[in-house]
Amino acid sequence: MIRTTTDPRAAAEALLAGGLVLLPTETVYGLAARADDPAAVVRVYAAKGRPERHPVIVHLADPEAAIDPQSLGTWVSARPDFARALAAAFWPGPLTLVLPRSSRATDDITGGQDTVAVRVPAHPLAREVLQAMDDLDPEGAPHAVVAPSANRFGRVSSTTVQHALDELGELLDPERDVALDGGPCSVGLESTIVDCTGDAPRILRPGGVTAADVVETAGAMAALASSTTTPRVPGALPSHYAPQAHIAIAIDGEAAEAYADAAQEGGLDAERIALLAPASVPDLPGVMRLAAPATNEDYARGLYAALREADARGIEFIVVVPPPPDVEGIAAAILDRLRRAAAPRA
């Protein structure tokens, strides 16, 4: 098993030497590698079991340089005004922007597309790691890391270092790779991805930065696909973020009860059924409760841990009551992940 540390410098040293790091961010843990080290990037794909044509996100420290086509070592080649406004409003934070790539963003990172995804994370340790890389190796500054979510392909993302280790610890190299413990993630769902290659922003993956936030900042949103290319987003595959258990999405407490009853009538014993629902929904008699979040933010923060706990307990059937809709908030992102977790397996 790889070593766990709380020292960002140790993580920076590992990265500079071509190692991989289980990296805390405010959204979910990432499996990080130097973005300019193709051999390290290959190991990231191998550990995750991720198809090579699925692009990764380049994480940087400096919000301005991250999307400035003129900046030193830039990863992007163009930037519309609305992308600049989004970056200024939400970076550092749970937002990823897809932009035309520079020559530095090679096919191993972009999956062969002519665009690149960039993000400036807010987690203090992630920022300190990038800063320490620049301090330790000023010639390579500004450093950048790719960091897909720290989970095996198609599985639930990790929101604690232990979950990241459970997913990938055995697949990493104790000689070169380390886990950086930054505590539980504060958002709990992956970043909002906004395609900035068209005339107006287009949300490819909902997240903590909401559609209302994007419209408010960028002025408008592309109603239909405005991009001339069709980017690949594995989070957009039907079954993704999925636990072992089967998931049924109920609209309210009564529907949840009906599902649980039906499952028992179908032969499943109560110990194999669990409930995940907002605090306002009462327990189901004899059925384990995975979580009872009081707010939608709590729901998002605890979602992946709840799905993992279901697997750990051998739950076969999870009845999920989604969060109440909140036009301004994270409910849409939660519902998106729940639908994918519930989708039939390929």
Please report whether residue 104 would count as binding ligand TXA according to CB under 6 A.
no
Beta bridge partners of 195: 98, 202
Residue nearest to Mg ion (CB): 149
Q: Does 160 bind ligand TXA (CB under 6 A)?
A: no
Q: Can you tell me which of 104, 232, 246, 339 binds ligand TXA, judged by CB under 6 A?
A: 232
Q: Are 145 and 232 in contact (CB under 8 A)?
A: no
State yes or no: residue 115 binds ligand TXA (CB under 6 A).
Answer: yes
H/E stretch holding 273 = strand 273-276
Least distance to ligand TXA from the beta carbon of 281, Å? 28
Of 54 and 84, CB closest to Mg ion: 54
Distance of closest approach, residue 299 Cβ to ligand TXA, in angstroms? 17
Please report, as ranges, the residues that interact with Mg ion according to CB under 5 A.
149
Nearer to Mg ion, 149 or 192 (CB): 149
Residue 58 or 276 having the CB closest to ligand TXA:
58
Contact between 242 and ligand TXA by CB under 6 A: the answer reads: no
Q: Give the bridge partners for 194, in sequence order.
A: 97, 203
* Contact by Cβ (8 Å): 11, 24: no
Return the residue of 8, 93, 169, 231 that touches ligand TXA, per CB under 6 A: 231
The nearer residue to ligand TXA, 193 or 341, going by C-beta atoms, is 193
Interface residue with ligand TXA, options 36, 63, 76, 149 (CB under 6 A): 149
Measured distance CA(26)–CA(126) in Å, rounded: 9
Nearer to ligand TXA, 93 or 278 (CB): 93
The answer to whether the beta carbons of residues 14 and 176 sit under 8 Å apart is yes
Pick one of 117, 120, 165, 291: the residue that binds ligand TXA (CB under 6 A): 117
100 contacts ligand TXA (rule: CB under 6 A): no
Asked whether position 96 contacts ligand TXA by CB under 6 A, the answer is: yes
- The nearer residue to ligand TXA, 8 or 148, going by C-beta atoms, is 148
Q: How far is CA 256 from CA 117, 281, 336, in A?
A: 39, 9, 19
22 lies in the binding site for ligand TXA (CB under 6 A): no
In whole angstroms, what is the distance from residue 147 CA to residue 190 CA?
11
57 binding ligand TXA? (CB under 6 A): yes
DSSP string, 139-190: GGPSP-EE--BSS-TTB---SSHHHHHHHHGGGS-TTT-EEE---S-SS-SP
Of residues 148 and 278, the one with the C-beta less far from ligand TXA: 148
Segment interacting with ligand TXA (CB under 6 A) among 23-31, 242-250, 303-311, 336-344? 23-31
Alpha helix locations (H) across the chain? 8-16, 38-48, 63-66, 81-90, 107-110, 124-136, 161-168, 211-218, 253-265, 296-312, 331-342
State how beta strands 192-195 and 95-100 pair. Answer: parallel
Residue 234 sits in the site that holds ligand TXA (CB under 6 A): yes
Residue 108 binds to ligand TXA (criterion: CB under 6 A): no
Query: CA 32, CA 236: separation in Å to the nearest integer?
Result: 22
CA distances from 174 to 20, 21, 323 (A): 10, 11, 40
- The rounded Cα 261 to chain-centroid distance in angstroms is 34
Residues that bind ligand TXA (CB under 6 A): 25, 27-28, 30, 54-57, 96, 98, 110, 113, 115-117, 119, 121, 147-149, 190-191, 193, 204, 231-235
